[in-house]
Amino acid sequence: MAESRAMNPQTPVTARVQAYAGAIAMVAVSTLVGLWIAPRWGTAPVDMIYLPAVLAAAALWGLGPAVIAGLAAALAYNFFFTTPVHTFRMDRVADVVTVIVLLIVALVTSRLASGIRSQARLAAAHAVRNATIAGFAGRLLSCSGEGDIGSTACTELRGLFHCNVMLVTGLPEPRIVTAAPDGNRLTPSDVAAAALTMESGEAAGRGTSRLQPAEWVFYPVRSGDEVLAAIGLARDDGTVPVTDDDLPLLTNLLDQVALALVRARAEAETREVAGLRERDHLRSALLSSVGHDLRTPLTGIIAAATELRADGATQDQALLATIACEAGKLERYISNLLDMARIEAGAVKLKTEPVDLVDSVAAAIKDVRLSLADHPVAVDLPDNLPLIRADAELLHHCLINLIDNAARYSRSRGPVRIAAAVSKAEVRLSVEDEGPGLPQDAERSLDAFSRISGSDRKGGAGLGLAIVKAFAEAMGMKVLASNRDGLGAIFTLVFPKALVLTTSETADAG
């Protein structure tokens, strides 16, 4: 790891030489002690004198110096303490066994001590890595946005790996979010490497099997299968910035960057959702307030116009008819406002019952007769049309909005056709007009407050059709919008099989 190497640089050759020299020196000291002991208590305890030297060499310098210490101890014991002395020849079997056992014990104990030392070094390295990751994650935790996270990540990675770092996002043309130090630029090869990393989720660039000519090497910052960004690293001298030993640490740090980016995005989405919820709440309150405040005076205007027309005076009949017609349209618009407020507040409650579509269509035509004054209505409903399960009031709202929409957009004195058919156990009720039709994104006409680009269908706020869609879906139906083969548009209510009453159910309902 970069940080551990910075703290404990690789042991140079001189240090290794010093380690071997130290091991031999400790054996020499043990020999001197043995020479002092032998005349007094004999050579029996001398072989044990060498064990501390071997163990100390293993603990301080590792396996190599410990093995040298063990060999030196065996040779010194043989030379100074076995007969004939001052030679490496041994006449007694006991001395041979002692030297062999001493060498075996030295090797085994040195191996064990060296293993313990290696485990200690590994544990220390893991502790350093864990501390590095924890500190890195803690610093990212205080960041709020993508730019802030990128800046902190690049600064920290630059300090750990001692190289240039940048964070890039975006496809197909990656862009630099932040870099450390500032002012780094990407060559075309680097841009290609960054794009490849974000597309494939694998490292690309210098030192990898992909796009070697690039000056930077890019690693993916990913969350699951999604690549959120790419981290680029490069050195001024052109060498590979991250070795294989450093890759586990870098991978863990990039996981922390991914978690921070996901958290930042989630927080941004939460703030956006909270803002949308607040705006929707205000809009619903406004719709409800405007609808209720205007409905009462508008009802009075309609009643007054109707009463004046009933008096029979002829001089202002046309003007009164216009007032009544426009007031009726305004009343339907306000009714739509209230219905939309109900939908958004979740206050739509169904009262499902068997409904005759023939009666429903007739009632809807009667309620919009003023809008249909200049448009002939063609009704094509088969005699064997089955009853359907629906909320009669909501279905009535759907029909008057569809018929009023057809009358509004149909050409002058253009007919409005209402037809129904049974197909594959489902009932389809369509309302057709002879207007300018719908553009390619016809289904958008069913969205509230939408304006359909490229269409000549103008006027209104787009509430009527949105209410049709919302009410129909609440009752389990579907609404389809399309163009006729000739001139005009078709809006179709689809009643699925589950809402169509069978003959036996119709008899029971009757």
DSSP letters, 177-221, are EEEESTT----HHHHHHHHHHHHHSS-EETTSSS-TT-SSEEEEE
CA–CA dist 452, 51 (Å, integer) = 92
For the cut 70, the answer to whether the pLDDT of residue 448 exceeds it is no
Q: Name which residue leads in pLDDT, 288 or 459.
A: 288
User: Which pLDDT value is given to residue 508?
Assistant: 59
Q: What is the DSSP string of 370-421?
A: TTTTTS-EEEE--TTPPPEEEEHHHHHHHHHHHHHHHHHHSPTT--EEEEEE
Show Cβ contacts of residue 331 under 8 Å, excluding neighbours closer than 6 positions: 295, 298, 299, 302
User: Which pLDDT value is given to residue 360?
Assistant: 93
- Cα 187 to the chain's mean position, in Å? 30
CA distances from 403 to 14, 73, 365, 483 (A): 97, 108, 7, 16
Q: Which of 139, 187, 181 is nearest to 162 (CA)?
A: 181
User: Which pLDDT value is given to residue 111?
Assistant: 75
User: Which pLDDT value is given to residue 57?
Assistant: 81
Q: Work out the average pLDDT over 77-98.
A: 76
* 3-class state of residue 435 by DSSP: coil
User: Which pLDDT value is given to residue 9?
Assistant: 43
Q: Work out the average pLDDT over 468-484.
A: 87
Indicate the average pLDDT of the chain: 79
Q: 182: number of CA atoms within 13 Å, CB side? A: 1
Domain boundaries, the chain: 2-138, 146-242, 267-347, 352-509
Q: Which of 174, 168, 226 is nearest to 195 (CA)?
A: 174
Cis status, amide bond into 436, omega within 30 of 0: no
CA–CA dist 20, 62 (Å, integer) = 10
Residue 453 pLDDT class (50, 70, 90 cuts): very low
Q: Name which residue leads in pLDDT, 2 or 41.
A: 41
User: Which pLDDT value is given to residue 432?
Assistant: 92
Cα angle 468-474-475, degrees, rounded to a multiple of 5: 90
User: Which pLDDT value is given to residue 99?
Assistant: 67
Cα angle 20-24-29, degrees, rounded to a multiple of 5: 145
The CATH label, of 3.40.50.720, 1.10.1240.10, 3.40.50.300, 1.10.287.130, for the domain at 267-347 is: 1.10.287.130
Q: Which of 55, 48, 54, 53 is nearest to 34 (CA)?
A: 48
Residue 219 pLDDT class (50, 70, 90 cuts): very high
CA–CA dist 69, 28 (Å, integer) = 10
For the cut 70, the answer to whether the pLDDT of residue 416 exceeds it is yes
Is there a contact between 342 and 348 (Cβ–Cβ < 8 Å)?
yes
User: Which pLDDT value is given to residue 223?
Assistant: 86
Point out the least confidently predicted range of 130-144, 191-205, 241-255. 130-144
CB-neighbour burial class of residue 94 (10 A; exposed 0-12, middle 13-18, buried 19+): exposed
Q: Which residues does residue 205 pair with via DSSP β-bridges, in sequence order?
A: 217
For the cut 50, the answer to whether the pLDDT of residue 199 exceeds it is yes
Q: Work out the average pLDDT over 67-92.
A: 80
- For 44-75, the pLDDT digits (tens) are 777 778 878 877 887 778 777 877 887 888 78
CA–CA dist 74, 439 (Å, integer) = 98
For the cut 50, the answer to whether the pLDDT of residue 500 exceeds it is yes
For the cut 70, the answer to whether the pLDDT of residue 238 exceeds it is yes
Written as six digits, the tokens of 445 are 């006409």
Q: Name which residue leads in pLDDT, 91 or 182.
A: 182
Q: 366: number of CA atoms within 13 Å, CB side? A: 7
Q: Work out the average pLDDT over 344-370.
A: 85
For the cut 80, the answer to whether the pLDDT of residue 506 exceeds it is no
* 3-class state of residue 478 by DSSP: strand
User: Which pLDDT value is given to residue 86?
Assistant: 81
Q: Please tell me the class of the 146-242 domain.
A: alpha beta
Residue whose token pair is 């993916």: 220
Is there a contact between 46 and 81 (Cβ–Cβ < 8 Å)?
yes
| Intrachain domains 267-347 and 352-509 with the same fold | no
- For 252-311, the pLDDT digits (tens) are 888 888 888 888 888 888 888 888 788 777 766 776 666 667 767 777 777 777 777 676
Written as six digits, the tokens of 421 are 């058919």
Which homologous superfamily does the CATH classification assign to the domain defined by 352-509? Histidine kinase-like ATPase, C-terminal domain (3.30.565.10)
Q: Name which residue leads in pLDDT, 171 or 316.
A: 171
Q: Which of 141, 149, 205, 139 is nearest to 177 (CA)?
A: 149
User: Which pLDDT value is given to residue 389?
Assistant: 92
Point out the least confidently predicted range of 87-91, 352-356, 380-384. 87-91
For the cut 70, the answer to whether the pLDDT of residue 235 exceeds it is yes
* 3-class state of residue 459 by DSSP: coil
- For 140-189, the pLDDT digits (tens) are 887 878 888 888 888 888 888 889 999 998 877 888 888 888 888 888 88
Q: What is the DSSP letter of 498?
A: G
What percent of the chain stands above pLDDT 90? 14
For the cut 80, the answer to whether the pLDDT of residue 499 exceeds it is yes
Give buried/exposed letters for 306-342 (b at 16+ CB in 10 A, else e): eebbeeeeeeeeeebeebbbebbbebbbbbbbbbbbb
Residue 7 pLDDT class (50, 70, 90 cuts): very low
Q: Work out the average pLDDT over 384-404.
A: 90
User: Which pLDDT value is given to residue 2?
Assistant: 44
